[in-house]
Structure 1
Amino acid sequence: MSHLPLIRFAGVFSFNGEARHVTLEAVSLVEARLIAERWAVGITGEAPPLAVSAARTLRKHPREEIDDFLTYTVPEIEAVLKISRPTIYRLIARKIFRPVPGIRHKLIPRDQVVKFVAGSGKHGRN
C-alpha cells in the first residue's frame, strides 16, 4: 500500500468574532474541503512550506496524532472533544482540569482529559 504525500492547506475560522488561522493536511483539495467542513473551517488555499517550528497542525486524523502529546492546549481540547472554550475554562475553574503550573498557556495533562472523557467520576482530581 503506497502512501500519498500530504499537502498542507491554510484555513480560517471565526471564534468570538476573531479570525483564527489553522493548517491542515490532506492528500487533495477535495479531502481538505471535507475535513474543513467537518471542523467548520474555511479553506483559504495551499499553505506555505512549514518553517522549522513546534507548531501543531490539524490533520486528517487529529485523535491519532494528538494521542502522542503529554499535554493539550485549550484549542486542541476544543478540536478533539468538540466542546467550547468557555466550557473548558469552566472545567478548569471547577478543578476538573488542572493546568500545568508556571507557564503562560494553559496546558492540560493528557491523563486528565482521558479521565474526563471516560467519565470516571474523578476526572482530573487527585
Structure 2
Amino acid sequence: MNSSESKYEPLPADQITWAALLGQWVEFARSAVALPSNDEGARMKDSIADVIMLQAVWFALESLSGLSTDEQALGLNRAALLIKKHKANLVSRYTEIQMPHSMSQLISDAESSYSKAKSADKE
C-alpha cells in the first residue's frame, strides 16, 4: 500500500445513513432562519426539533431488530414516550390552523413504525 492509499475501513451502511440523516437535519434546522417572522413562521421554527425527533425515532425503529431483546424492549419504551411527547408538541401548535400534511404524515409514519416494531417484538 502506498502512502496515498487510505487505511480506513468503510463505514457500515447504517452509520452512513445516520450520518446522511444528521446532515439533512442540520440543513433543515439552518433553513429555519429563513422562515418569515409571523405566526406561521414561528410555529414552523418551534416545530423543527419535534420533526427531527420523530424522524429519528421512525428511522431507529426501522433498525430495532438488530438489537438484543432487552435493548429492543427499552427502545420500544423510549420510542413510545418520544412519539407521544413530540406528537403532542406538534398538535398543540396547530390547534387553530391545520397542521401541514407532511407533519401529520410524519406522525402517522412514526406511529405506524412503532406499531410494526411492537408487533414484531411479540413474535
Quick check: TM above 0.5?
Answer: no
- Measured against the shorter chain, the TM-score band is under 0.3
TM-score normalised to structure 2 length: 0.25
Larger relative contact order, structure 1 or 2 (CA cutoff 8 Å, min sep 6): 2
